[in-house]
Amino acid sequence: MKYPNILMMTDFGPDNSSVCTMKGVCSNICPDLITTDITHSITPFNTWQASAQLMFVVPYWPKGTIFVCVVDPGVGTERKACVAKLKDGNYIVTPDNGTLTHVYYEIGIEEIREIDETVNRLPSTRDTSIFHGRDLFAYCAGKLAANIITFEEVGPAYPVEEVVLHDTFYDPLIKENHVEGNIITVFKHFGNVFTNISYKNFKKAGFNEGDYVNVRITYKDEIIFNEKVLFHKSFGYAELNQPIIFSGSMLDICLALNQGSFAEKYGISAGKDWKVVFTK
Which residues make up the interface to a second copy (CB under 8 A)? 1, 5, 7, 9, 12-18, 20-21, 23-25, 27-28, 31-32, 35-42, 44-45, 53-54, 56-57, 60-62, 65, 73-77, 127-131, 134, 187-190, 199-200, 233-237, 246-251, 254, 258-259
Round to whole Å and give the CA distance between 211 and 143: 53
CB of 177 to a second copy, least distance (A): 20
Nearer to a second copy, 153 or 203 (CB): 203
Nearer to a second copy, 33 or 276 (CB): 33
CB of 23 to a second copy, least distance (A): 6
Q: Give the phi and the psi of residue 18 in degrees, each rounded to 5.
A: -60, -50
Nearer to a second copy, 160 or 250 (CB): 250
**Edge-first strand listing for the sheet containing 66-70:** 35-39, 6-10, 66-70, 91-95, 81-86, 109-114, 157-158
Nearer to a second copy, 198 or 275 (CB): 198
CB of 59 to a second copy, least distance (A): 8
CB of 208 to a second copy, least distance (A): 13
Nearer to a second copy, 32 or 171 (CB): 32
Nearer to a second copy, 30 or 157 (CB): 30
CB 65 within 8 A of CB 91: yes
Nearer to a second copy, 58 or 275 (CB): 58
CB of 84 to a second copy, least distance (A): 18
Round to whole Å and give the CA distance between 138 and 143: 9
Q: Residue 35: CB partners within 8 Å, gap ≥ 6? A: 5, 6, 7, 8, 22, 23, 26
Chain centroid, CA 103 distance in Å: 8
CB of 9 to a second copy, least distance (A): 7
Round to whole Å and give the CA distance between 204 and 129: 52
What is the 8-class DSSP label of residue 144?
A: H
CB of 88 to a second copy, least distance (A): 12
Question: Could you tell me whether strands 271-279 and 109-114 are parallel, antiparallel, or unpaired per DSSP bridges?
Answer: unpaired
Which ranges of 168-216 does DSSP label H, i.e. alpha helix? 199-204
